[in-house]
Amino acid sequence: MMKDLRFRDRAKAEELARLIERLAPAEPVKLVHICGTHEVTITEFGLRSLLPPQVEILEGPGCPVCVTPVEHIDEAVALAEQGHIVTTFGDMARVPGTRKSLEGARSEGADVRIVYSIADAVELARKAAKEVIFFAIGFETTAPTVAAAMLDGVPDNFSLLVSHKLIPPAMAALLEGEHDISGFLAPGHVSTIIGLEPYRIFPEKYGMPVVIGGFEPLDILYSIALLLRQLREGTPKVENAYTRAVGSRGNLRAQEVLYEVFEVTDHYWRGMGLIPGSGLKLREEFSSWDARERFSLKVKSNESLHPGCRCAQVITAKATPDQCPLFSKGVCTPRTPYGPCMVGEEGMCHIWHRYGGRPKL
Amino acid sequence: MCLAIPSKVIEVGEFEAVVDHGGVKKRVKLDLLAEPVEVGDYLLIHTGFAIQRIAPSEAEETLKLFEELIRATFDDEGPPVS
């Protein structure tokens, strides 16, 4: 494993922090990243404590579990209750639906299995006598893996409940209407797949700086410095600070595989609403593997969040977890979550809870 | 969740490779890579699939860029910050 400690060098981090201080304007700057793994690095390494008080960095809608509509969870629960095997990623099973979570359905006897990869779900279907459904969530990084499995060939008793979403349209949605965002730290591995092109709209249409950053502490500090330099110079553009993993055109093979199986559709984001062109659905040729077509799925879903829950504000970078009374009073925890941001491992509330909340400066 | 740390290839098959991720051997699918993979390469892995080959030399390049930005900014006599 190449854990390159040079990207965690303390002296270098302090130098970058001084640089950030030098580049920061006097007025408040709100930077938004869209990635749970960025949030983990920022929180775990206490990077916020290195930023000047006027520079803030918040997580936008970077947690796939958090933005998955309740309707899709209810559909997955309905499939499990019909006696089929439902497979999905770990934290997805814990998010409450209208009546229950997938985990809740499992505790009542339904067959719900946690998988690490779609490949595990396909493997299971090859051995199982029952129908196996993979609840496919995730962004541009995950969707190509699902597409690749479909192109590899899947057994007849396998199908997909698709809930894949696309990041750039959600970033654009944050900029429609009132906002105080000054720049985006674009997600690393989504960008590995899609490259730089889909972000051009942000400098061009919205005058918004974009820097693609890696996941190590120095990567993030460097990306923040680049964003501040763009703001200072008044030259918004798309910069790639993660060239060791992101080519300017992205992973063309993965894009090809992705769009051979899926096509773009409008999608509902929990806490954000309907966002045009922000989701994926199976192409006509693959519709016989669509669980929604194969099974009768009529669910009545309640998309609303718990009245006190600020998840909608957290995923739109309008609030930090400690501004939510349920979080700050310790009522909402991963064991007793009130909203999806505390359930999803990439949710800002979950991550802040894990690392002890806002640093006391 | 994205695995931020690349994994080293220790065996290569036709459609799959075995990687070492923090001492744990893992089988990964190569469907999403256009170019061939060799033992000793580093790969980014996402949900059981390799999504990118990493050139270790690029890490050097990035570290150099950090230096350059720090030097350029502190040498810069440019407009005042505020």
pTM of the model: 0.94
Q: Per-residue pLDDT averaged across B32-52, rounded?
A: 94
Helices A36-44 & A217-233 angle (0-180, nearest 10): 100
Using the beta-carbon criterion (under 8 Å), do A141 and B20 form an inter-chain contact?
no
Tokens 């985006």 locate to A184
Distance CA A152, CA A149 (A): 5
Cross-chain CB nearest to A1 (options B22, B44, B47) = B22
- Residue A360 is predicted with a pLDDT of 63
Number of CB atoms found within 10 A of residue A295's CB = 16
CB pairs under 8 A between A and B: 141
Q: What pLDDT is recorded for position B4?
A: 73
String of b and e for A28-59 (b: at least 16 CB within 10 Å)?
ebbbbbbbbbbbbbbbebebbebbbeebbbbb
A117 DSSP 8-state letter: S
Chain B closest CA to A298's CA: distance in Å? Answer: 30
Name the pairing type of β-strands A210-212 and A183-186: parallel
Whether residue A257 and residue B63 make contact (CB cut-off 8 A), yes or no, is no
Does A114 contact B at CB distance below 8 Å?
no
Please, is A294 exposed, middle or buried when counting C-beta atoms within 10 Å of its C-beta (0-12, 13-18, 19+)?
Answer: middle
Q: Is A59 on the interface with B (CB under 8 A)?
A: no
Q: Which residue of chain A is at minimal alpha-carbon distance from B55?
A: A244
Ordered DSSP codes for A140-158: TTTHHHHHHHHHH---TTE
Amino acid identity for residue A359 in this structure: P
Please tell me the distance from the alpha carbon of residue A342 to that of residue A333, in angstroms, as a whole number.
Answer: 6
Contact B51 A243 (CB under 8 A): no
User: For chain A, which ranges sit under pLDDT 70?
Assistant: 1-3, 359-361
For the cut 80, the answer to whether the pLDDT of residue B59 exceeds it is no
CA distance A11 to chain B (A): 12
Question: Which tokens sit at A112?
Answer: 């719900």
**What pLDDT, on a 0 to 100 scale, did the predictor assign at position B5?**
79
Cβ–Cβ < 8 Å for A125, A154: yes
Instruction: Report the distance separating Cα A339 and Cα B16, nearest Å.
Output: 39
> What are the two backbone dihedrals, phi and then psi, of residue A257, each rounded to the nearest 5 degrees?
-60, -45
**ipTM rounded to 2 decimals:** 0.92
Distance from CA of B29 to the nearest CA of A (A): 9
